Amino acid sequence: MPDTTIANHELNLASQSVEAKNTNAAEISKQLRANRHKRESRQALLKHLFLGFFAILMLYPLLWMMAASVKPENEIFGNLSIWPSAFHWDNYAHGWNRMQVSFTTFYANSFLVTILSVIGNLISCSFAAYAFARLTFDLKKFWFALMMMTLMIPYHVVLIPQYVLFLELGWVDTYLPLVVPRFLAADAFFIFLMVQFFRQLPRELDEAAMIDGCSPYKIYWAIIMPLSLPAMATAGIFSFIWVWEDFLAPLIYLNDMNNYTVPLALRLFVDQDSQSAFGQMFAMSVLSLVPVILVFVIFQKLIIKGIGMSGLK
Amino acid sequence: MSGLSLNGVCKSYGPVNVIKNLDLEVISGEFLVLVGPSGCGKSTLLRMIAGLEEITDGTISIGDRIVNDLPASQRNLSMVFQSYALYPHMSVRKNLAFGLTNLKMSKDEIKRRVDEASEILQIGNLMDRKPRQLSGGQKQRVAIGRAIVREPELFLFDEPLSNLDAELRVQMRVELAGLYNRLGTTMIYVTHDQVEAMTMATRIVVLREGKVEQVGTPYELYNRPQNLFVAGFIGSPKINMLETKCQSGNGASQIEIEDFGSAEIARLGSDSTAITVCVRPENFEINGSGVLSAKGKIVLIEYLGSELYLHLELSSGKRLMIKAPSKAEHLVGDEMSITIDIDNCHYFDEAGLRIEPAKMTEAA
Ligand SMILES: Nc1ncnc2c1ncn2[C@@H]1O[C@H](COP(=O)(O)OP(=O)(O)O)[C@@H](O)[C@H]1O
Ligand SMILES: [Mg+2]
């Protein structure tokens, strides 16, 4: 009997000390958590201040332009404040119809050129890339190197010979010089981008498709293409942005105002010497950004979807 | 159904000869396994048969028809790849049907074949999934299903089980064997795993550096390896190789093996003086006392449940692998003596080719 009581007593002591240990541990961990929380929120604050500063620095010109597009004419350059004293929304309506050709036409032109160019780039560059990545042909390495070299030549170097060529062809003042080269895989950058992407697709997929009776064309169309949506979306976005905002090539090849693209039309505001209309110009500039942003948002989803789809291994 | 024959087939990548003047007859309806160490050209050979790789020289015929220039899709064969190579953007059903659609087969026929394959492989509940939603074993089944639906004359497998874990591999091995029994189609199966080769094959081809070392049934390869390479490659754990001095006289050969001493055996069919005697781990008598006995110390014991493998170090420092019954009580550090079972030895000459003792040659 006495033995058991002693044993029980010891047991109680033991469980008490375990409890004490537990509460102690809980307190320590609470303390640690609080410390970490404090440390983290301090770091987060610093990080956000830093990022916010640079974000404002980067966004300032854009914000300035958006503000200027609704400011009264005399306030644009005279007043440092970004916030307009009054909102002149009619800058948009007047700007749209200020030229003898309306912006509706300019937008239609821009969309025509841009969409054709994007389609041309995607089709022709992916064809060329497929050939470089998968097919065997003579002097493949040589042609690839040659293609990469075109990346290193500045556009301004080939400008004059190219102009002469298109002049001889009678293509000046048409959209052909802007669009046709894109159907001929003239953009080495996109070819390179896609070659890199195609190369990581397992070759065994091609081979399985070959046994399944696919021609090289069918392999491209049924296997490579659907698996390359991310690369296609990337190429599509860049190609859209670059063509949409291209100023130099349209300036050189388009003469008739009816054929002008949006960036060319924007310049007309500056040319009109008599009466300044900067508010309207900025209004149109803001509008010209909308398609670029829309395209980016839409195609970006494809990039993400493409990444989510990769279960290749 | 028709057999396949390779005559003088060569393959080189630039200056490197990967397959060297290879002749091989594949009998219609057999399960032929190509086995060999990594890089010996197994995949290359299989891909040449499939039509995915150009042949540098020689001919490949299926039946009586030379198929050197026939595109892969017209050779009436299916291939299962090591990485499965399922089309990631298609559902399982589409993966199975893709090849048949390309053949412009009728919808009903495609459905019949796809349903049959899904029934055989029990993948009916996976049909609408994408490959990324499948486990390794399920992908494997789908890949096999894609091969079955074509109802080909010839199946090609390139290490199809090497990406699976050990348990699944054993299970799929059994299933593949079952599939072979059910379909009876000719199969050519590449593996570097000699256990897979031994268990599944009706015949095995051992390749080394693009050359055929031996062709035979698993039994022949294990019991009568034609050269040292095959002796060493087939069998796990590996065969023990003992360098041996040999003096062949009239009607008898005197062999002398380091640590084991010497013995007189039936005359070997060669006058080589330096030969190799190979003994499999199970062909030693433990604590025996016949001629050719040696003493050694146990340095490592591998317990496999049904048996034990003892790593024995002889006095010369040479190590042997000995199989012992699992109940035997051995401890690391124990001294023990072993005796070679002379009737179950393999002899190889200096060039590594098999030599037979006279009595066995007579018997054969
Ligand atoms: N496209 C290739 N170009 C050059 N060498 C190759 C090519 N494909 C395979 N080889 C070489 O051929 C040899 C055999 O390769 P492979 O058939 O894949 O071996 P394995 O028996 O492991 O399947 C290897 O040495 C490999 O390096
Ligand atoms: Mg291989």
pLDDT digits (tens, 9 = 90+) for A50-91: 999 999 999 998 988 899 888 887 777 877 777 887 888 888
Residue B356 Cα, gap to closest chain A Cα (Å): 46
- Which helix (H) or strand (E) is B37 found in, with range? none
State the Rg of chain B over Cα.
Answer: 25
Global pTM value? 0.82
Please determine, for residue B364, whether its predicted confidence score (pLDDT) is greater than 50: no
- Which helix (H) or strand (E) is A224 found in, with range? none
Residues A113 and A53 in one domain: no
Domain presence at residue A13 = yes
Distance B222 CA to ligand 2 centre (A): 23
Please determine, for residue A309, whether its predicted confidence score (pLDDT) is greater than 90: no
CA nearest neighbour of B233 among B257, B198, B190: B198
Instruction: Give the rounded distance of the alpha carbon of B118 from its chain centre.
Output: 29
Domain presence at residue A85 = no
The pLDDT tens digits for A113-137 are: 999 999 999 999 999 999 999 998 9
Rounded to 5 degrees, what are φ and ψ at B15? Answer: -80, -10
What is the distance in angstroms between the CA of the first residue and the CA of the last residue of chain A? 70
The finding on whether B253 has its CB within 6 A of some atom of ligand 1 is: no
Residue of A nearest to B146 (CA): A212
Query: What is the rounded average pLDDT of the residues B348-357?
Result: 92
CA nearest neighbour of B81 among A307, A212, A197, A229: A212
Give the domain extent around A37: 2-57
- Which helix (H) or strand (E) is A130 found in, with range? helix A103-134
Please determine, for residue B133, whether its predicted confidence score (pLDDT) is greater than 60: yes
CATH architecture of B237-363: Beta Barrel (2.40)
CATH number for position A283:
1.10.3720.10
By percentage, how much of chain B surpasses pLDDT 90? Answer: 82
Please determine, for residue B225, whether its predicted confidence score (pLDDT) is greater than 90: yes
Distance A295 CA to ligand 2 centre (A): 45
Q: Worst-scoring range by mean pLDDT, A7-21, A135-149, A170-184, B92-106?
A: A7-21
Please determine, for residue A310, whether its predicted confidence score (pLDDT) is greater than 60: no
Query: How many contacts does A have with B, using Cβ atoms within 8 A?
Result: 66
CA nearest neighbour of B238 among B309, B318, B169: B309
Assign B204 a pLDDT band (cuts: 50, 70, 90): very high
Q: Does A227 touch chain B if contact means CB atoms closer than 8 Å?
A: yes
Enumerate the residues of chain B whose CB falls inside 8 A of the CB of residue A227: 88-89
**A198 and A228 Cβ atoms separated by less than 8 Å:** yes
Q: Does A150 touch chain B if contact means CB atoms closer than 8 Å?
A: no
Inter-chain contact B73–A208, Cβ cutoff 8 Å? no
Residues A139 and A210 in one domain: yes
Residues in chain B: 364
Nearest CA owner, ligand 1 atom 27 = B39
Query: What is the rounded average pLDDT of the residues B73-101?
Result: 94
User: Which carries the bigger pLDDT value, residue A11 or residue A99?
Assistant: A99
Residues A111 and A49 in one domain: no
**B299 and B312 Cβ atoms separated by less than 8 Å:** yes
Distance A173 CA to ligand 1 centre (A): 56
Residues A159 and A32 in one domain: no
Please tell me if the domain spanning B4-232 has the same topology as the one spanning B237-363: no
Paired tokens of B258:
């380091």
Inter-chain contact A211–B103, Cβ cutoff 8 Å? no
CA nearest neighbour of A131 among A175, A185, A182, A89: A185
Please determine, for residue A307, whether its predicted confidence score (pLDDT) is greater than 80: no
Residue A311's pLDDT is 47
Assign A299 a pLDDT band (cuts: 50, 70, 90): confident
Domain presence at residue A81 = no
The pLDDT tens digits for B168-203 are: 899 999 999 999 999 999 999 999 998 999 999 999
* Per-domain boundaries in chain B: 4-232, 237-363
Structural domains counted in chain A: 2
The finding on whether B261 has its CB within 6 A of some atom of ligand 1 is: no
**B300 and B341 Cβ atoms separated by less than 8 Å:** no
The pLDDT tens digits for A127-171 are: 999 999 999 899 999 999 999 999 999 988 999 999 999 999 999
The pLDDT tens digits for B238-252 are: 999 999 999 988 888
Residue A313's pLDDT is 42
Residues A125 and A44 in one domain: no
Inter-chain contact B88–A312, Cβ cutoff 8 Å? yes
**ipTM of this complex prediction, to 2 decimal places:** 0.85
Domain presence at residue A122 = yes
CA dist A206 and A194 (Å) reads: 16
CA dist B327 and A287 (Å) reads: 87
Among A212, A302, A305, pick the best mutation site for testing chain B contact (most B Cβ within 10 A): A212
> Which CATH number applies to B4-232: 3.30.230.10, 3.40.640.10, 3.40.50.300, 3.30.1490.20?
3.40.50.300
Residue B363's pLDDT is 42
Residue A76's pLDDT is 79
Domain presence at residue A43 = yes
Average pLDDT value over all residues in chain A: 87
Please determine, for residue A23, whether its predicted confidence score (pLDDT) is greater than 60: yes
Distance B36 CA to ligand 2 centre (A): 10
Residue A17's pLDDT is 64
Residue B132 Cα, gap to closest chain A Cα (Å): 5
Instruction: Give the rounded distance of the alpha carbon of B38 from its chain centre.
Output: 12
Burial group, residue A156, by CB count within 10 angstroms (0-12, 13-18, 19+): exposed
Query: What is the rounded average pLDDT of the residues B199-228?
Result: 95
User: Which carries the bigger pLDDT value, residue A229 or residue A1?
Assistant: A229
Residue of A nearest to B104 (CA): A213
Residue A210 Cα, gap to closest chain B Cα (Å): 6
Distance B26 CA to ligand 1 centre (A): 22
Please determine, for residue B271, whether its predicted confidence score (pLDDT) is greater than 90: no
Residue B71 Cα, gap to closest chain A Cα (Å): 8
The finding on whether B38 has its CB within 6 A of some atom of ligand 1 is: yes
Residues A139 and A246 in one domain: yes
Please determine, for residue A30, whether its predicted confidence score (pLDDT) is greater than 80: yes
Residues A187 and A126 in one domain: yes
Please determine, for residue A211, whether its predicted confidence score (pLDDT) is greater than 60: yes
Residues A304 and A211 in one domain: yes
Query: What is the rounded average pLDDT of the residues B265-287?
Result: 91
DSSP codes of every residue in A52-120 = HHHHHHHHHHHHHHHHHTTS-GGGTTT---SS-SS--THHHHHHHTSSSS-HHHHHHHHHHHHHHHHHH
CA nearest neighbour of B230 among B26, B35, B39: B35
Residues A212 and A126 in one domain: yes
Residue B360's pLDDT is 47
- Which helix (H) or strand (E) is B247 found in, with range? strand B240-248
